[in-house]
Amino acid sequence: MSYSISIERTSALKQKPDFSQLGFGKYFTDHMFIVEYDDGEGWHDARIVPYQPISLDPAAKVFHYGQTVFEGMKAYKDAEGKVALFRPFKNLQRLNRSNDRLSIPAIDEGLALEALKQLVTIDESWIPTEEGTSLYIRPFVISTQAALGVSPSEKYLFMIIMSPVGAYYREGINPVSIYVEPQYVRAVPGGVGNAKTGGNYASGLKAQEEASDKGYSQVLWLDGVHRKYIEEVGSMNVFFKLADKVVTPALSGSILDGVTRDSVIQLLKYWNIEVEERAISIDELVEAYRNGTLEEAFGTGTAAVISPVGELNWQGERLILNGGQTGPLAAKLYGFVTGVQRGAVEDPFGWLLKL
Amino acid sequence: MSYSISIERTSALKQKPDFSQLGFGKYFTDHMFIVEYDDGEGWHDARIVPYQPISLDPAAKVFHYGQTVFEGMKAYKDAEGKVALFRPFKNLQRLNRSNDRLSIPAIDEGLALEALKQLVTIDESWIPTEEGTSLYIRPFVISTQAALGVSPSEKYLFMIIMSPVGAYYREGINPVSIYVEPQYVRAVPGGVGNAKTGGNYASGLKAQEEASDKGYSQVLWLDGVHRKYIEEVGSMNVFFKLADKVVTPALSGSILDGVTRDSVIQLLKYWNIEVEERAISIDELVEAYRNGTLEEAFGTGTAAVISPVGELNWQGERLILNGGQTGPLAAKLYGFVTGVQRGAVEDPFGWLLKL
């Protein structure tokens, strides 16, 4: 099947930033993809155009009722200059699951993939190649109908923008200190915690700010019902190494089904390391820490890939993990996954989609 | 204290819609208010300008991370043509409580009130006078910094737009049928359920759609922890008349502190009707229904003021309230509150701010 995507190239390419000082999500490439939805007409007018502001009525539903979804994925360039996307199908499938939860009409995943390929190809010169850098890709849907009734929008925009990003941690990976959040709750079963929608991120800002004031990088979220089971760390999934096995919270409905989470589980099984997806209480972790079996903790997500945890603060008790250093398992996972991503390590799972 | 608000009047007034066919939030007045925020500079450039689209970078945080808050309030014109706002201070105070929860810098409530007064005065000809109609006012804040890091925005817009709205129910008030939601959850303590932020509304759309497919207007939300305590009805607070008293859920942290809720509680006390703010389980309501003491239920909110419930469907059992008709208490409350609002009934509480 072929998709019709019109292309308008920019007449003035932007000056590129210093690729050794990128940070995260600060600079955007020369072009963007956009396709519109109207009730009765479906998705229409798919196009790649110069990166530019969008103009919306101030009554557009996105400004009032938060009916949005998004995805995050990355493109890489290998040593030979070949471009690849990391598991884009997983992200597009999840985008449609998020759409369904937020009452947004489904995207044609074939069209979205074609748009991704064309957009990345057009802005290929924006893919940084320094170790740890990549081209971050942000597909997102916003509701644009200008009407204040609380109901699903009759109009949407699906867009893709792209940003060259630096290594999340300048020297590879470094452990972060995490505050186990006793007061605020991210999501609860029956809510939208397993959808990638703006409200989940807005609701976490306050806890993140307060943890930061206490000297912590992020919070570890506990579940909203029992206030004791582990959910996510910041906006990442989380794993714990307990002696001879690795545990991670099961997909309970209130946490995100992370693509990196899935990749890490696949990889652990490939390495014959036992991995359990199940409920994990903070009490279990504290006990494991005290008896010396909590060896490592790390977050997983598209932005940082693997983010080792050096400390957990639970009600004032500081649990220092692996001496506050990056653990061997986190380092091995980081090396393998980022190696596959940049084409330096063989890809046994077919994760890369080469363009 | 005086506030500097520049005014640019439109050069082409819009044609007004048929004021007998307004619906809700479909038409917008000739002007809008806007003020910008930048970190380090604070709120600046307050202005009233012709109603117009706004232009934002596609990376603006509002499109990705849902960092938004809003308010809803109304202006009325009495029989002599005098204009009044209903309890605007309450809404502006709540706006700042929502801002705090969403890590948005506080608005100057004095500036916002002055903006409201000037904007309503300029667009006074848009205030409909037919019974049940009003000018709906929508203050809102959106995060506009173009950056994909998950952190509070460094830039915001605070805007006020206005829409002439019809009677929520064409012939005064009519009872609605409500589906008691067993699966989806609106909010949970520790989350943002008590803030007026977009994500709370986005997360309710799916349940609302599914209830609608079953023939119900709205859902009655149960709490997310025990799944049995009453929270809200649709996007309104909810009250129940149980024999000789009225009960409404206490402000537990997961429901909105409604201005109409507060007005109704004040009024019930003024009428010497006992009112309790406390936890109410669905089991208690079912039992009260069965023994004949659940006499009425109604929602309260700015849009509909009082919305009587004619039926509650709980797990297939249909609880028909007051024979499916508007109950006497709901009717009396509706008559009094809307009477005060349009200047036809004396205002014993000082609810109206006359312009």
Specify the pLDDT at position B170: 61
Distance CA A299, CA B310 (A): 49
**Are residues A208 and B59, on separate chains, in Cβ contact within 8 Å?**
no
Q: Does B191 touch chain A (CB under 8 A)?
A: yes
Q: Under DSSP, is residue A245 helix (H, G, I), strand (E, B) or coil?
A: strand
Q: Does A162 touch chain B (CB under 8 A)?
A: no
Distance CA B333, CA B32 (A): 32
Which of A26, A59, A68 minimises the CB distance to B66? A68
Which of B65, B103, B142 minimises the CB distance to A206? B103
Distance CA B149, CA A235 (A): 11
**Are residues A203 and B183, on separate chains, in Cβ contact within 8 Å?**
no
The candidate with the shortest Cα–Cα distance to B235, out of A337, A279, A266, A148, is A148
Q: Does B292 touch chain A (CB under 8 A)?
A: no
- DSSP letters, B243-266, are TTEEEE----SSS---HHHHHHHH
**Are residues A198 and B203, on separate chains, in Cβ contact within 8 Å?**
no
Distance CA B141, CA B151 (A): 16
- DSSP letters, B46-104, are EEEEES--EEE-TTBTHHHH--EEE--EEEEE-TTS-EEEESHHHHHHHHHHHHHHTT-
Q: Under DSSP, is residue B113 helix (H, G, I), strand (E, B) or coil?
A: helix
Which of A26, A152, A203 minimises the CB distance to B191? A203
Specify the pLDDT at position A3: 83
Q: Does B148 touch chain A (CB under 8 A)?
A: yes
The candidate with the shortest Cα–Cα distance to B191, out of A231, A69, A151, is A231
pLDDT < 50 positions in chain A:
none
Mutate which of A31, A203, A220 to test chain B, going by most B C-beta atoms within 10 A?
A203
What Rg value do the Cα atoms of chain B yield, rounded? 21
The candidate with the shortest Cα–Cα distance to B202, out of A104, A58, A251, is A104
Q: Does B49 touch chain A (CB under 8 A)?
A: no
**Are residues B148 and A163, on separate chains, in Cβ contact within 8 Å?**
yes
The alpha carbon of residue A36 is apart from the nearest alpha carbon of chain B, in Å, by 14
Distance CA A16, CA B198 (A): 35
Which positions in chain A touch B163 (Cβ < 8 Å)? Answer: 59, 148
Tell me the domain boundaries of chain A: 6-167, 176-341
User: Which ipTM value was assigned to this complex?
Assistant: 0.97
Residue A67 Rama label (left phi>0; alpha psi -120 to 50; beta):
beta
Q: Does A268 touch chain B (CB under 8 A)?
A: no
Residue tagged 């007998």 (tokens)? B20
Specify the pLDDT at position A169: 66
Residue tagged 């004949």 (tokens)? B292
Distance CA A174, CA B164 (A): 56
Mutate which of B61, B97, B185 to test chain A, going by most A C-beta atoms within 10 A?
B185
Search chain B and give the residue with CA nearest A143.
Answer: B63
Search chain B and give the residue with CA nearest A64.
Answer: B198
Q: Which residues contact A327 (CB under 8 A, 6 or more apart)?
A: A241, A295, A296, A298, A308, A321
Search chain B and give the residue with CA nearest A25.
Answer: B148
Specify the pLDDT at position B1: 58
Which positions in chain A touch B32 (Cβ < 8 Å)? Answer: 58
Specify the pLDDT at position A241: 98
Q: Does A152 touch chain B (CB under 8 A)?
A: yes
Distance CA A348, CA B254 (A): 47
**Neighbouring-strand partners of residue A210:** none
Distance CA B135, CA B147 (A): 36
Which positions in chain A touch B200 (Cβ < 8 Å)? Answer: 66, 199
Which of A56, A149, A199 minimises the CB distance to B24? A149
Q: B 192-221 residues with CB below 8 A of A?
A: 192, 197-206, 208-209
The candidate with the shortest Cα–Cα distance to A145, out of A158, A132, A155, A135, is A155
Burial (0-12, 13-18, 19+ Cβ within 10 Å), B286: middle
Which positions in chain B touch A65 (Cβ < 8 Å)? Answer: 198, 201-202, 205
H helices of chain B, where?
A: 62-65, 88-101, 109-122, 198-202, 205-213, 259-270, 282-290, 328-341
Which of B25, B150, B186 minimises the CB distance to A235? B150
**Are residues A198 and B163, on separate chains, in Cβ contact within 8 Å?**
no
Which of B58, B103, B147 minimises the CB distance to A26? B147
Q: B 218-247 residues with CB below 8 A of A?
A: 224-225, 227, 234-235
> What is the tally of helices (H) and strands (E) in chain B?
8, 19
Q: Check residue B154 and report its DSSP letter.
A: S
Q: Does A136 touch chain B (CB under 8 A)?
A: yes
The CATH code belonging to domain B6-167 is 3.30.470.10
Q: B 56-85 residues with CB below 8 A of A?
A: 56-59, 62-68, 70
* Tokens encoding A17: 């930033």
Element holding A45 (H helix, E strand): strand A42-50
**Are residues B54 and A59, on separate chains, in Cβ contact within 8 Å?**
no
Which positions in chain A touch B51 (Cβ < 8 Å)? Answer: 58
H helices of A180-249, where?
A: 198-202, 205-213
Residue tagged 């452990």 (tokens)? A175
**Are residues A152 and B205, on separate chains, in Cβ contact within 8 Å?**
yes
Which of B54, B148, B189 minimises the CB distance to A56? B54
The alpha carbon of residue B208 is apart from the nearest alpha carbon of chain A, in Å, by 8
Specify the pLDDT at position B167: 77
Distances (CA, A) of A236 to A68, A258, A261, B291: 19, 8, 9, 50
Which positions in chain A touch B64 (Cβ < 8 Å)? Answer: 68, 70, 138, 140, 198, 201
Which positions in chain B touch A185 (Cβ < 8 Å)? Answer: 188-191
Specify the pLDDT at position A167: 77
* Whether the Cβ atoms of residue B260 and residue B340 lie closer than 8 Å to each other: no
* Tokens encoding A32: 């963007």
**Are residues A150 and B103, on separate chains, in Cβ contact within 8 Å?**
no
**Are residues B68 and A140, on separate chains, in Cβ contact within 8 Å?**
no
* Whether the Cβ atoms of residue A309 and residue A299 lie closer than 8 Å to each other: yes
Distances (CA, A) of B131 to B124, B202, B242, B340: 17, 31, 30, 12
Search chain B and give the residue with CA nearest A145.
Answer: B26
Geometric angle at alpha carbon B115, from B114 and B119, rounded to 5°: 120
The CATH code belonging to domain A176-341 is 3.20.10.10
The alpha carbon of residue B86 is apart from the nearest alpha carbon of chain A, in Å, by 19
**Neighbouring-strand partners of residue B42:** B38
Geometric angle at alpha carbon B184, from B303 and B104, rounded to 5°: 60
Distance CA B101, CA B68 (A): 10
CATH 3.20.10.10 fits B176-345, yes or no: yes
Distance CA B136, CA B91 (A): 13
Distance CA B176, CA B320 (A): 11
Distances (CA, A) of B294 to A218, B262, B331: 47, 22, 16
The candidate with the shortest Cα–Cα distance to A182, out of A217, A211, A215, is A211
* Tokens encoding B347: 């205002």
- For residue B130, how many other CB atoms are within 10 A of its CB? 12
Which positions in chain B touch A136 (Cβ < 8 Å)? Answer: 148
Which positions in chain A touch B192 (Cβ < 8 Å)? Answer: 199, 202-203
- Tens of pLDDT along chain B (355 residues) come to 578 999 999 999 999 999 999 999 999 999 999 999 999 999 999 999 999 999 999 999 999 999 999 999 999 999 999 999 999 999 999 999 999 999 999 999 999 999 999 999 999 999 999 888 999 999 999 999 999 999 999 999 999 999 999 977 665 678 999 999 999 999 999 999 999 999 999 999 999 999 999 999 999 999 999 999 999 999 999 999 999 999 999 999 999 999 999 999 999 999 999 999 999 999 999 999 999 999 999 999 999 999 999 999 999 999 999 999 999 999 999 999 999 999 999 999 999 999 9
